[in-house]
Amino acid sequence: MTPLTPAVFHVLLALSGGERHGYGIMQAITEHTGGEIRMGAGTLYGTLQRLLDGGWVSEVSGPSSRSVRDERRRYYRLTAEGRRALDVEMARLEAILRVARRVHKPLKS
């Protein structure tokens, strides 16, 4: 499997805690990254479409207690394939960090 793009990684990570609507995904990404990454709507929805097409994310009906205001929102959930892709990417990144920690000699201040 090829490495995931940062946008794909962060969307999958945001959905790993459960289903969310688009704005909720954007908020989760901002929260997970301490505000370092703020994904725009175009990037988010383009990424979601690719993930839907690839079978890594599915659209779901969302909470049953939705208000009239929420009816326009589309909710998304990770599929088993999406969760597996996230797990593989996390293992890949962990392996890279293990090597970097073993090899890198930090500067002493």
CATH class for the domain made up of 6-103: mainly alpha
Three-state SS string over the chain comes to CCCCCHHHHHHHHHHCCCCEEHHHHHHHHHHHCCCCCCCCHHHHHHHHHHHHHHCCEEEECCCCCCCHHHHHCCEEEECHHHHHHHHHHHHHHHHHHHHHHHHCCCCCC
What pLDDT does residue 65 have? 57
- Per-residue pLDDT of the chain (109 residues), as tens digits, is 789 999 999 999 999 999 999 999 999 999 999 999 999 999 999 999 999 999 999 999 876 655 555 667 899 999 999 999 999 999 999 999 999 999 998 888 7
The domain ranges of the chain are 6-103
Q: What is the pTM of this model?
A: 0.87
